[in-house]
Homo-oligomer: A and B are copies of this chain.
Amino acid sequence: MTHVEPVVIEARQRVIYGDTDQMKVVYYANYFRWFELGRLEYFKARGGDYAAVEARGFALPVASAHCDYKASARYEDVVLVRTWLAELKRASMRFEYEIRREGDGVTLCTGYTLHACVGPTGKPTRLPDELVKFL
């Protein structure tokens, strides 16, 4: 297991009507969509090509997902998704997230996702080197 000095990558997202629910705030499940946007931008920013890794038959399915909600995002807000790699093991990795409202900087939620690495045979496997090297 390697402890990784976290590099925080930021992504921005406008809140649309379709993200809200009848409480006039963003529906709780949608924050997990933004966590995924954070992962995507993390890979891109670090020079990784997740699509290529996937094309070789590897995948990083979510094993666990967690979110602690602190404040509500609202229609027209721009949210700032901050993503970092908190843990990198032989066959798994853990991303952590913090989502803030742009403007007032209020923290809306924090959370994490734990990912297993699955190989072409569909079984858990070591993370491929070309993925690890840019993480």
Number of copies: 4
Give how many A residues have a beta carbon under 8 Å from the other chain's beta carbons: 38
- Given A40-B14, A65-B28, A76-B51, is A21 in contact with B23 using a C-beta cutoff of 8 Å? no
What's the minimum C-beta distance from A107 to chain B, rounded to whole angstroms? 14
Which residues of A1-52 are within 8 A (CB) of B?
Answer: 11, 14, 16-18, 20-25, 27-30, 32-33, 36-37, 40-41, 44, 50-51
Question: Which residue of chain B has its CB nearest to the CB of A40?
Answer: B16
**Which of B25, B36, B37, B66 is A64 in contact with, Cβ under 8 Å?**
B66
A16: contacting residue among B17, B37, B59, B69, CB under 8 A: B37
A65 / chain B contacts, CB cutoff of 8 Å:
28-29, 66-67, 69
- Which B residues lie within 8 Å of A120 (CB)? none
